[in-house]
Amino acid sequence: MGKTSHRQPTKRKDAEIVVKRNFGISSVFSDNDFGLYEGIAVFANRRGYRFLSDYFRWLAERPIAEIGSDPGDHVHLTPHSPYCDEIDFSFDTLTSSNRNAVLRGAGASRRSRRRGTPIRQFTGLVAEITEFLEDDLRNDDEFRQTTIDEISELMTVIEEKQAQLEGM
């Protein structure tokens, strides 16, 4: 491999990257059944893909600091575009000495793997979000009320969609 910089690449203004959640029906997660799945779609112009290529090369070659509070020395990539879903990517570098700590810290295990339809996964995700935010929700009245309001909006949509499906 050629010589690369240890500095994180900078995205040029003309590099476009758009990230969207998408859904489909496919056998992509099953050998014999078609089912609903959720995915992440990336749309980019050539400069956007060059930036991503440089970014991943930098991740692969950069020196990492395995420190106790952040053993994977994680970095974030947040594509900013008026067309993008608000999604942040976090990248941690796994090594033989930090792998277990990084995955444990992320709650990544075979048992915790999200499976099933996007709706089934979302059910677990809502529970995980509120558990993750428990201390903040307990100690911040405004944040707690905003979260309650958002869950109420979610329940309204769910009830409407359930009634719509039952009426089909």
Distance CA 125, CA 110 (A): 16
Which residues, including other chains, have CB under 8 Å from residue 115's CB and lie 6 or more apart? 121
Task: Identify whether the C-beta of residue 74 lies closer than 8 Å to the C-beta of residue 39.
Answer: no
Domain span holding position 37: 17-115
Query: Which pLDDT score is estimated for 1?
Result: 46
Cβ pair 35, 25 in contact under 8 A: yes
Predicted structure pTM score: 0.75
Q: Does 38 reside within a domain?
A: yes
Asked whether residue 152 is assigned to any structural domain, the reply reads no
Quick check: is 130 in a domain? no
Look at residue 4 in the predicted model and tell me its pLDDT: 54
CA atoms within 13 A on the CB side of 51: 19
Predicted confidence at residue 31, as pLDDT, reads: 64
- For the chain (length 168 residues), average pLDDT per consecutive 10? 70 94 76 77 96 94 77 85 90 88 88 84 89 92 94 95 94
125 falls within a domain: no
Asked if residue 164 is part of any domain, the answer here is: no
31 domain-assigned: yes
pLDDT of residue 154: 94
Examine residue 95 and state whether it is found in any structural domain, yes or no: yes
Q: Give 116's Cβ-side CA count (13 Å radius).
A: 9
Q: Is residue 67 part of a domain?
A: yes
Q: Number of folded domains in the chain?
A: 1
- The pLDDT value given to residue 41: 92
